[in-house]
Chains A and B, each alone.
Chain A
Amino acid sequence: MPQKIHIRLAAHRINPSIAVNRRVPKIFTPGQVITEQNEFMRGHGTYEEEGFLKSSVAGVKEQVNNLISIRPLKSRYNGEVGDVVVGRVTEVQQKRWKVDTNSRLDSVLLLSSVNLPGGELRRRSAEDEHMMRQYLQEGDLISAEVQSVYSDGSLSLHTRSLKYGKLSQGILVKVFPSLIKRSKTHFHNFYVGASIILGNNGFIWIYPTVSNAEDNAGGFVQNLEQVVSRPERETIGRLRNCILALIQSKMMLYDTSILYAFEESQKYSVAELLIPEAMVDVAILTQDRLSMLENS
């Protein structure tokens, strides 16, 4: 039975803000004076003009001793070495792939920084160069780690670990990179039957948990025959909608917040989670549980 079609007036829009009785940080806009005193150092997102320190982006202030920086609310991804990212191959070039990782410039994945299928310590020969498109082609999604940052800010990636590589069936959700909380691990296997890769670049990959850690040759195999079962599919869809609910209310994403949102959302069907009221409700319930956890 198909659901009712919802057309709502903009005047009846739900306010997604969940900052009911908590302090809302002040948001600086570009050009706004942050401080008139000049004993401060200018950090990222700021500039000096007429002796004043001004904001160059829209965001919140962060101060470490004398250093003032403005963290933008929305921005492209600024990579750091060691970050886990999810990206999409946009181009195959000589000895390298270009990967879209939501940064200002496309990232680079060198042929020499991947584990080739089936080969341990294989020399990357001319033959491999010709075969590059068979390993990864345009449109393929990969998980990788940032190996180094070039001087122009573009990233060099590597997938030299069995946990990285080509991604198979699942859903990609794109969020602002600033909403991903940095943590020890960005790979999570939830007990509910799905796994998630929280890319630091704001790309989130949700996929069915692979039961046995089979040696899939450095993650270059895609199983297109496998049909994801209905319960797994529901879990994945619910996770996706919960993540969208959390980002609508600008909540940080990490394993606990996503799992709490998943648990609080059980009273709704997956499709109902697209309705703004349900999304805000889930975000508020999650926020309550998180603050309870904080206070206990």
Chain B
Amino acid sequence: MALCEAEKTFVLHGVEENFRVDGREREDYRPIELETNIVSHAFGSARLRLANTDVLVAVKIEVDVPYPERPKEGKLEFFVDCSANATPDFEGRGGEDLAIEISNSLSAAYKSPEVFDLTKLCILKGHKCWKIFVDILLLECGGNLYDAVSIAVKAALWDTRIPLVKSVTVDGNNVDMEVSDELHDCQKLDVTAAPIMVTVCKIGEQCIVDPNVAEELCSVGAVVIAVSKDKFSTVLQIGSGSLHPQTLLECLQMGEKVAQRLSEALTETLSEINPNKNQDVGFLK
């Protein structure tokens, strides 16, 4: 999609006026809809809709051998698939660059042990660990992908249940493990520190969060800030524009503030989920 100069001017003046095209202020977020446990055969899943952005995340778990240099840690991998349903640009290999960019940023954001404790995934030191695959499917793009993906990933990891290991026996080189037969015997991951990414978009002289497609087209550059609790876990720049150090500082402050609010809102929503009540909605309603 392209915008004409007049439309861009309208968006730009609106951002300066602190009144964006849909009436939001610069730090306002659009309403989000979330559903967890939407893919029944996955270990954990979430679907998130932010205006027209639609993301589906599913978590799969396998038993694997830990890396020799980190025998006490499990593994966590992200994979992003850009469906051509989202935009025709993703057809063929069109979405590959974006997919790699998003999955790399997620891996970087989740890398620190303070953010996500991989040692919890260890089954037997040096021999067996859990490997978590986080598969992200972009179903529709309506702007602000990074934020949407990071919230959906956090919700999906929150939803993930890892089977309880009853016993591990070592017999020479063979390692045997027994997983609990009880379907509901499982442990949940600790995601309180899982990062939330906030895209701060620079339009004109001002910065905004949660840009829609038109605003993304008007921006000269954007910074994606991953915040875990009150710490930054990653900062990366997207787009070609360059930023003044002072602007970057402002972006970081703004991003942190918004991430706190997002994280609070997400925690509140996740606490509303009641596993005993049927809250399934799915795709067809």
Contact = CB atoms under 8 A, between A and B. Distances in A.
Interface of A: 2-13, 88, 137-141, 167-172, 222-224, 227-228, 230, 233-234, 236-238, 240-241, 269-271, 273-276
Nearest to A1: B25
A9 B23 contact: no
Given A3-B28, A10-B35, A88 B281 contact: no
B96 interface: no
B269 A9 contact: yes
Interface of B: 2-7, 9-10, 13-14, 17, 19-35, 47, 151, 261-262, 264-266, 268-269, 272-273, 279-281, 285
A271 B281 contact: no
B195 to A, nearest CB: 16
Contact of A169 (B7, B24, B151, B262): B7
Contact of A6 (B21, B23, B151, B265): B265
13 contacts: A2-B26, A2-B27, A9-B272, A9-B273, A11-B280, A141-B6, A170-B7, A222-B5, A224-B9, A238-B23, A240-B22, A271-B22, A274-B22
A78 B67 CA distance: 60
Contacts of A222: 4-6
Given A7-B266, A168-B6, 14 more contacts: A4-B265, A5-B261, A7-B265, A8-B31, A9-B279, A10-B34, A10-B281, A13-B285, A139-B4, A167-B4, A169-B7, A233-B17, A234-B23, A276-B31
A241 B22 contact: yes
A2 B28 contact: yes
Contacts of A140: 4
B3 A9 contact: no
A2 B264 CA distance: 15
Nearest to B209: A2
Contact of A274 (B23, B273, B280): B23
Contacts of B261: 2, 4-5
